[in-house]
Amino acid sequence: MTLELPEGPFKAYLFDCDGTIVDSMPLHYVAWNKALGEYGCEFDEALFYAWGGMPVAEIIRSLNEKHGLSMPVETLHHRKEGLYYEMLDQLKGVPEVMEHVHASHGTIPFAVVSGSTRESVVKSLQVLGILDKFDTLVCAGDYAKAKPDPEPFLMAAERLGVEAKDCLVFEDTAMGIAAATAAGMASVKVLQPWERAGI
Protein backbone atom coordinates (compact mmCIF):
# COMPACT_ATOMS: atom_id res chain seq x y z
CA MET A 1 0.00 0.00 0.00
CA THR A 2 1.40 3.39 -1.01
CA LEU A 3 0.64 6.74 0.61
CA GLU A 4 -0.77 9.28 -1.83
CA LEU A 5 0.93 12.58 -1.05
CA PRO A 6 -0.69 15.97 -1.74
CA GLU A 7 0.71 18.13 -4.53
CA GLY A 8 4.08 19.64 -3.55
CA PRO A 9 6.76 20.67 -3.71
CA PHE A 10 7.43 20.60 0.04
CA LYS A 11 10.54 21.86 1.79
CA ALA A 12 10.23 19.70 4.93
CA TYR A 13 8.48 16.55 6.15
CA LEU A 14 7.13 16.50 9.71
CA PHE A 15 6.30 13.05 11.07
CA ASP A 16 4.29 12.02 14.09
CA CYS A 17 6.06 9.05 15.70
CA ASP A 18 3.74 6.50 17.32
CA GLY A 19 1.32 5.01 14.81
CA THR A 20 2.90 6.98 11.96
CA ILE A 21 6.61 6.06 11.67
CA VAL A 22 6.52 3.19 14.14
CA ASP A 23 3.66 0.72 14.39
CA SER A 24 3.80 1.13 18.15
CA MET A 25 0.20 1.89 19.07
CA PRO A 26 -0.74 -1.76 19.75
CA LEU A 27 2.30 -2.08 22.05
CA HIS A 28 1.45 1.18 23.81
CA TYR A 29 -2.10 -0.10 24.38
CA VAL A 30 -0.80 -3.33 25.96
CA ALA A 31 1.49 -1.24 28.22
CA TRP A 32 -1.39 1.06 29.19
CA ASN A 33 -3.67 -1.89 30.03
CA LYS A 34 -1.03 -3.52 32.25
CA ALA A 35 -0.17 -0.27 34.04
CA LEU A 36 -3.77 0.89 34.49
CA GLY A 37 -4.91 -2.60 35.51
CA GLU A 38 -2.77 -2.22 38.64
CA TYR A 39 -5.10 0.64 39.63
CA GLY A 40 -8.32 -1.05 38.49
CA CYS A 41 -8.73 1.50 35.68
CA GLU A 42 -10.11 0.59 32.27
CA PHE A 43 -9.00 2.28 29.03
CA ASP A 44 -11.33 1.57 26.12
CA GLU A 45 -9.41 0.81 22.91
CA ALA A 46 -11.50 3.23 20.80
CA LEU A 47 -10.81 6.02 23.32
CA PHE A 48 -7.10 5.12 23.35
CA TYR A 49 -6.89 5.66 19.58
CA ALA A 50 -9.09 8.79 19.73
CA TRP A 51 -6.62 10.25 22.23
CA GLY A 52 -3.61 9.38 20.05
CA GLY A 53 -1.06 12.21 20.18
CA MET A 54 -2.05 13.30 23.69
CA PRO A 55 0.90 13.37 26.14
CA VAL A 56 1.00 10.49 28.66
CA ALA A 57 0.58 12.73 31.71
CA GLU A 58 -2.47 14.38 30.13
CA ILE A 59 -4.02 10.94 29.41
CA ILE A 60 -3.57 9.91 33.06
CA ARG A 61 -5.12 13.16 34.30
CA SER A 62 -8.04 12.74 31.85
CA LEU A 63 -8.62 9.12 32.96
CA ASN A 64 -8.54 10.20 36.62
CA GLU A 65 -11.21 12.79 35.86
CA LYS A 66 -13.30 10.38 33.75
CA HIS A 67 -13.29 7.56 36.33
CA GLY A 68 -13.17 9.62 39.52
CA LEU A 69 -9.74 8.20 40.39
CA SER A 70 -6.56 9.71 41.80
CA MET A 71 -3.85 7.61 40.14
CA PRO A 72 -0.37 9.11 40.70
CA VAL A 73 0.57 10.78 37.42
CA GLU A 74 4.39 10.55 37.66
CA THR A 75 4.47 7.00 39.05
CA LEU A 76 2.01 5.66 36.49
CA HIS A 77 3.76 7.55 33.69
CA HIS A 78 7.08 5.80 34.50
CA ARG A 79 5.38 2.42 34.95
CA LYS A 80 3.62 2.63 31.58
CA GLU A 81 6.77 3.78 29.76
CA GLY A 82 8.80 1.00 31.40
CA LEU A 83 6.30 -1.64 30.26
CA TYR A 84 6.45 -0.23 26.72
CA TYR A 85 10.27 -0.33 26.68
CA GLU A 86 10.17 -4.01 27.67
CA MET A 87 8.35 -4.75 24.39
CA LEU A 88 10.52 -2.60 22.11
CA ASP A 89 12.09 -5.62 20.42
CA GLN A 90 8.66 -6.31 18.87
CA LEU A 91 8.55 -2.84 17.27
CA LYS A 92 8.21 -2.50 13.50
CA GLY A 93 8.00 0.47 11.15
CA VAL A 94 4.87 1.43 9.21
CA PRO A 95 5.95 0.27 5.72
CA GLU A 96 4.33 2.99 3.59
CA VAL A 97 5.82 5.75 5.80
CA MET A 98 9.26 4.12 6.05
CA GLU A 99 9.26 4.11 2.24
CA HIS A 100 9.04 7.94 2.20
CA VAL A 101 11.60 8.28 5.00
CA HIS A 102 14.16 6.27 3.02
CA ALA A 103 13.27 7.74 -0.39
CA SER A 104 13.36 11.42 0.64
CA HIS A 105 16.05 11.44 3.32
CA GLY A 106 18.84 13.82 2.37
CA THR A 107 16.73 15.79 -0.11
CA ILE A 108 14.67 17.78 2.44
CA PRO A 109 14.87 18.10 6.24
CA PHE A 110 12.80 15.84 8.53
CA ALA A 111 11.37 16.40 12.00
CA VAL A 112 9.50 14.16 14.41
CA VAL A 113 6.63 15.92 16.20
CA SER A 114 5.28 13.71 18.98
CA GLY A 115 3.14 13.70 22.10
CA SER A 116 5.48 11.05 23.54
CA THR A 117 8.52 11.73 25.69
CA ARG A 118 11.87 12.34 24.00
CA GLU A 119 13.22 9.13 25.59
CA SER A 120 10.38 7.08 24.11
CA VAL A 121 10.76 8.62 20.63
CA VAL A 122 14.56 8.17 20.63
CA LYS A 123 14.29 4.52 21.73
CA SER A 124 11.65 3.76 19.08
CA LEU A 125 13.68 5.36 16.27
CA GLN A 126 16.85 3.62 17.46
CA VAL A 127 15.15 0.21 17.30
CA LEU A 128 14.29 0.92 13.65
CA GLY A 129 17.80 2.28 12.97
CA ILE A 130 16.53 5.62 11.64
CA LEU A 131 17.23 8.11 14.45
CA ASP A 132 19.99 9.77 12.40
CA LYS A 133 17.56 10.59 9.58
CA PHE A 134 15.78 13.29 11.60
CA ASP A 135 17.10 16.84 11.93
CA THR A 136 15.08 17.67 15.05
CA LEU A 137 12.69 16.00 17.51
CA VAL A 138 9.82 17.97 19.06
CA CYS A 139 8.49 15.91 21.97
CA ALA A 140 6.31 16.21 25.09
CA GLY A 141 7.87 18.81 27.37
CA ASP A 142 9.18 20.95 24.48
CA TYR A 143 5.90 22.82 23.96
CA ALA A 144 3.22 24.35 26.19
CA LYS A 145 0.18 23.24 24.17
CA ALA A 146 -0.15 19.72 22.75
CA LYS A 147 -1.94 18.66 19.55
CA PRO A 148 -4.58 19.57 18.36
CA ASP A 149 -2.92 22.94 19.04
CA PRO A 150 -0.56 23.83 16.16
CA GLU A 151 2.32 24.80 18.49
CA PRO A 152 4.32 21.51 18.18
CA PHE A 153 4.28 21.62 14.36
CA LEU A 154 5.06 25.34 14.21
CA MET A 155 7.99 24.77 16.59
CA ALA A 156 9.35 22.03 14.29
CA ALA A 157 9.05 24.26 11.19
CA GLU A 158 10.86 27.07 13.01
CA ARG A 159 13.68 24.74 14.08
CA LEU A 160 14.08 23.55 10.49
CA GLY A 161 13.95 27.11 9.13
CA VAL A 162 11.02 26.28 6.85
CA GLU A 163 7.72 28.16 6.53
CA ALA A 164 4.60 26.34 7.73
CA LYS A 165 3.00 26.37 4.27
CA ASP A 166 6.01 24.49 2.86
CA CYS A 167 5.74 21.57 5.32
CA LEU A 168 4.00 18.24 4.79
CA VAL A 169 2.77 16.45 7.91
CA PHE A 170 2.43 12.65 8.21
CA GLU A 171 -0.13 11.80 10.92
CA ASP A 172 -2.32 8.88 12.00
CA THR A 173 -4.81 10.65 14.28
CA ALA A 174 -7.60 13.18 13.81
CA MET A 175 -6.01 15.25 16.59
CA GLY A 176 -2.71 15.38 14.68
CA ILE A 177 -4.35 16.24 11.36
CA ALA A 178 -6.29 19.05 13.12
CA ALA A 179 -3.01 20.40 14.54
CA ALA A 180 -1.37 20.34 11.11
CA THR A 181 -4.35 22.12 9.52
CA ALA A 182 -4.33 24.74 12.29
CA ALA A 183 -0.61 25.29 11.58
CA GLY A 184 -1.42 25.95 7.90
CA MET A 185 0.34 22.78 6.77
CA ALA A 186 -0.68 20.13 4.25
CA SER A 187 -1.04 16.63 5.70
CA VAL A 188 -1.32 12.99 4.74
CA LYS A 189 -3.35 10.53 6.86
CA VAL A 190 -1.63 7.28 7.80
CA LEU A 191 -4.09 4.44 8.41
CA GLN A 192 -4.56 2.99 11.88
CA PRO A 193 -3.55 -0.68 12.42
CA TRP A 194 -7.10 -2.01 12.13
CA GLU A 195 -7.68 0.07 8.96
CA ARG A 196 -4.52 -1.35 7.38
CA ALA A 197 -5.51 -4.88 8.41
CA GLY A 198 -8.64 -4.71 6.26
CA ILE A 199 -6.77 -3.73 3.09
CA atoms within 13 A on the CB side of 155: 20
Q: Phi, psi at residue 130, to the nearest 5°?
A: -125, 10
DSSP 138-163: E-TTS-SS-TTSSHHHHHHHHHHT--
Catalytic site includes residue 16: yes
Distance CA 120, CA 139 (A): 9
Distance CA 53, CA 59 (A): 10
The one catalytic residue among 16, 18, 23, 172: 16
Where in the sequence numbering do the catalytic residues fall? 16
